[in-house]
């Protein structure tokens, strides 16, 4: 079997949305023109319904395409398979519209090949979403997950609860960043408009929502192109907008005070069920996403209703309270013939086996989900979050943080810690997620999506057994040219700078390989940012643009956090300079230290300060790395390096104590 994802995207004269399938009745080949009478590629009623619901098997997309001197022949069991064959035929066209003689037997590796667009943090019009459906469809992406609700705005009309859209869909600032942090000329966090909502008809109201009719139209539009729309309604967290519009659903009944629904209140379950009823009436998708991530549970421990519910459940564990709510909604959806999807925080043994977990943290949670008998969709932030920088951050538009290049996305290995049998049974597929806190415009959305979503689409269709990044990058670069020529603002791979040059080779210095001891009150984070552990500060390896690359070591603890490490050179040596690189990336709360202090000793007990470097704390839009150093000649065996946290608290990230 020869698998084909894309060779050439489409003939240069075509434009997105021009027509559903711009296929000729005659096809040019390198040896002449051959006849092609296309099968009826518009989805028949049964397959259209299957696509709307998203519950078809991989075999439904299988096809055989033969191009010979006698003509073009397509064999497929379904109209969806014929659609995929027709897309491939167009992809085969060269600049002159010619296709080669070939036989292609093709089927996807995974049934779920998804893209998620966050329309809450920034609202995007229906026409723009349709444009993305056109593009994604050509790359055989078959799920579009819409993140419809979050603190920044509720985006779906719910007729039973009109304030969700007349009030909770609008705010004083179009920019999420300004709305979340407060406008500087109003005092930043003291801004009275910070994180407030507005009535739709108030002057200056920014935002928007989709009517139910518009969403039905979108569902049909996507289904015609082989894509199922997956709606997400967040619960119990990320719900500030709901709990301000309807504060009786929170633990305190106060607007602007809570982010989490009250899981001890009957009103919460009534509200969520009524909302999901309208969601299901609009979206025929078999899968309904309920969020479930990052619940702070801030008031659950003191709320009388929550305490009563926990007593009824026989638990004092707040996570069990969340699990009860998620399990309840799962049973509700199952009763209506649907299946619940949630982020990996929902994992618990009490959920229905008819549950799918979308894994976003790391592969360990995929194993946890599978052990409980749940299906998984793999979408880890390390490789599948497309809100991070895709090239040198100081040359890119502002992003959430991190460093997620096309090569890194392409390097994703789905289900790496699962057995082959577990993968085959439980891994539904892969998905790329674009959160839009720092993506305010349509042009920026496309810049972040393309070409990285192409890498995940290829993994989803071809699997990972025949990966070849140089060959893929060459094809992706050609796709970028075609995308840009047809009005899609894709990132131009020809301008790619790549990682910090400091990462390319180890640095030689006096402390390389020497023992490092950390002060007990200032340990590095061992959960996620330990790097190489105790040897990391002297292993000669410097970090790149990704603070999670295994070379940067992270230190956290609010305003009390500090970096405090002592290097033993083994013998007394002459030193002239001590330096350390620190990263600042304000999106994920990584800041430069205020003070960098170097002290020396010959006995490891009595230290004398050699010098210090001070930097005033400030927030910056552009991530960067700065070398902090002390230049002073001395003779010493032990070198103590300390860094005090920014006035903002947050994280310190360091990569190497260089001694010269």
Nearest Cα to Cα of residue 290 among 352, 334, 232, 330:
232
Structural domain of residue 199, as residue ranges?
A: 170-207
Together in a domain, 199 and 50? no
C-alpha dihedral (479, 482, 486, 489), degrees to nearest 10: 50
Together in a domain, 198 and 50? no
Residues 6 or more apart whose CB falls under 8 angstroms from that of 528 comprise: 548, 554
Among candidate residues 35, 44, 294, 618, the one labeled active-site is 294
Within 13 Å and on the Cβ side, how many CA atoms surround 660?
12
The answer as to whether 158 is a domain residue is no
- Cα 646 from Cα 615, distance rounded (Å): 9
The answer as to whether 418 is a domain residue is no
CATH number at residue 569: 2.60.120.260
The answer as to whether 591 is a domain residue is yes
Together in a domain, 527 and 652? yes
Over the chain (660 residues), the average pLDDT of each successive run of 10 is 39 32 51 55 83 93 90 89 89 80 94 98 98 96 98 98 98 97 89 97 97 98 96 98 98 97 98 98 98 97 97 96 97 97 96 95 91 96 96 93 95 89 94 98 98 98 92 96 96 96 95 94 87 96 93 81 91 97 92 96 96 94 93 97 92 96
User: What CA–CA distances, in Å, run from 338 to 271, 287, 374, 378?
Assistant: 18, 6, 15, 20
Give the three-state DSSP class for 449.
Answer: helix
Together in a domain, 98 and 191? no
* Kind and range of the H or E run holding 217: helix 212-224
Among candidate residues 106, 134, 150, 564, the one labeled active-site is 150
Provide the number of structural domains found in the chain.
3
Together in a domain, 42 and 183? no
pLDDT at 587: 83
For the record, the structure tokens of 452 come out as 């990285």
Burial class (CB in 10 A: 0-12, 13-18, 19+), 470: exposed
pLDDT at 214: 98
| Active site annotation includes 316 | no
| Residues β-bridged to residue 599 | 609, 640
The answer as to whether 641 is a domain residue is yes
User: What CA–CA distances, in Å, run from 193 to 165, 204, 397, 487, 532?
Assistant: 19, 12, 26, 36, 44
Together in a domain, 520 and 626? yes
Together in a domain, 516 and 643? yes
User: What CA–CA distances, in Å, run from 441 to 396, 482, 572?
Assistant: 15, 21, 58
The answer as to whether 183 is a domain residue is yes
User: What CA–CA distances, in Å, run from 189 to 180, 192, 194, 195?
Assistant: 9, 8, 7, 10
* C-alpha 343: how far from chain center: 12
Together in a domain, 70 and 188? no
Together in a domain, 533 and 641? yes
The answer as to whether 436 is a domain residue is no
Among candidate residues 122, 147, 238, 444, the one labeled active-site is 238
CB 164 within 8 A of CB 211: no
CB 455 within 8 A of CB 418: no
Together in a domain, 526 and 653? yes
The answer as to whether 629 is a domain residue is yes
CB 323 within 8 A of CB 346: yes
| Active site annotation includes 624 | no
Within 13 Å and on the Cβ side, how many CA atoms surround 404?
27
pLDDT at 89: 87
The answer as to whether 592 is a domain residue is yes
User: What CA–CA distances, in Å, run from 646 to 94, 435, 563?
Assistant: 55, 27, 12
Together in a domain, 186 and 45? no
pLDDT at 45: 86
| Active site annotation includes 238 | yes
Residues 6 or more apart whose CB falls under 8 angstroms from that of 162 comprise: none
CATH number at residue 36: 3.30.379.10
- Cα 454 from Cα 610, distance rounded (Å): 52
Together in a domain, 102 and 191? no
CB 350 within 8 A of CB 324: yes
End-of-domain residue from the set 153, 187, 207? 207
- Cα 49 from Cα 494, distance rounded (Å): 41
CB 56 within 8 A of CB 64: no
């Amino acid at each position: 079997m020869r698998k084909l994802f894309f060779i050439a995207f489409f003939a240069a004269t075509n434009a997105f949305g021009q027509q559903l399938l711009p296929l000729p009745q005659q096809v040019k080949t390198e040896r002449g023109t051959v006849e092609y009478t296309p099968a009826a590629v518009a989805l028949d009623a049964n397959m259209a319904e299957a696509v709307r619901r998203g519950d078809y098997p991989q075999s439904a997309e299988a096809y055989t395409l033969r191009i010979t001197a006698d003509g073009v022949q397509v064999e497929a069991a379904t109209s969806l398979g014929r659609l995929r064959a027709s897309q491939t035929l167009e992809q085969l066209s060269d600049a002159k519209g010619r296709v080669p003689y070939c036989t292609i037997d093709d089927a996807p590796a995974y049934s779920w090949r998804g893209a998620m667009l966050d329309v809450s943090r920034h609202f995007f019009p229906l026409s723009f979403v349709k444009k993305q459906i056109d593009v994604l469809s050509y790359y055989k992406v078959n799920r579009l997950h819409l993140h419809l609700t979050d603190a920044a705005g509720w985006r779906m009309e719910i007729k039973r609860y009109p304030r969700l859209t007349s009030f909770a869909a609008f705010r004083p600032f179009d920019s999420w960043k300004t709305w979340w942090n407060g406008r500087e000329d109003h005092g930043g966090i003291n801004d009275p408009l910070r994180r407030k909502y507005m009535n739709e008809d108030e002057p200056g109201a920014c935002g928007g929502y989709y009517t139910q009719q518009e969403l039905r139209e979108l569902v049909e539009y996507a289904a015609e192109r082989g894509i199922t729309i997956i709606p997400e309604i967040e619960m119990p967290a990320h719900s500030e907008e709901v709990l301000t519009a309807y504060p009786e659903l929170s633990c305190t009944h106060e607007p602007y005070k809570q982010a989490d629904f009250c899981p001890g209140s009957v009103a919460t379950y009534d509200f969520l069920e009524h909302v999901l009823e309208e969601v299901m009436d609009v979206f025929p998708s078999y899968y309904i996403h309920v969020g479930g991530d990052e619940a702070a549970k801030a008031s659950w421990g003191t709320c009388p209703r929550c305490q009563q519910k926990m007593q009824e459940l026989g638990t004092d564990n707040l996570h069990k309270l969340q699990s009860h709510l998620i399990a309840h909604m799962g049973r509700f959806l199952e009763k209506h013939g649907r299946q619940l999807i949630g982020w990996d925080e929902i994992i618990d043994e009490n959920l229905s086996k008819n549950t799918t977990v979308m894994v976003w943290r790391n592969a360990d949670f995929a194993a946890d989900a599978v052990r409980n008998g749940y299906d998984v969709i793999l979408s880890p932030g390390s490789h599948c979050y497309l809100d991070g920088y895709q090239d040198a951050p100081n040359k890119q538009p502002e992003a959430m943080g991190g460093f997620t290049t096309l090569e890194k996305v392409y390097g994703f290995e789905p289900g790496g810690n699962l057995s082959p049998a577990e993968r085959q049974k439980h891994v539904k597929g892969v998905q790329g997620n674009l959160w839009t806190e720092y993506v305010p415009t349509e042009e920026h959305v496309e810049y972040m999506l393309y070409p990285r979503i192409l890498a995940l689409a290829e993994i989803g269709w071809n699997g990972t057994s025949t990966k070849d990044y140089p060959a893929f990058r060459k094809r992706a670069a050609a796709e970028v040219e075609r995308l840009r020529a047809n009005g899609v603002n894709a990132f131009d791979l020809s301008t790619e700078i790549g990682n910090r040059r400091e990462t390319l080779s180890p640095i030689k210095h006096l402390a390389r390989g020497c023992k490092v001891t950390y002060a007990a009150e200032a340990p590095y984070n061992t959960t996620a940012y330990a790097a190489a552990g105790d040897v990391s500060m002297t292993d000669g390896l410097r970090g790149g643009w990704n603070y999670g690359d295994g070379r940067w070591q992270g230190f956290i603890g609010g305003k009390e956090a500090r970096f405090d490490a002592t290097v033993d050179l083994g013998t007394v040596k002459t030193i002239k300079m001590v330096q350390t690189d620190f990263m600042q990336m304000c999106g994920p709360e990584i800041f430069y230290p205020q003070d960098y202090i170097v002290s020396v000793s010959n006995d490891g007990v009595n230290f004398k300060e050699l010098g210090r470097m001070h930097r005033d704390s400030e927030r910056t839009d552009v991530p960067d790395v700065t070398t902090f150093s002390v230049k002073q000649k001395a003779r010493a065996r032990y070198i103590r390096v300390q860094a005090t946290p920014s006035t903002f608290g947050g994280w310190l990230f360091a990569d190497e104590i260089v001694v010269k």
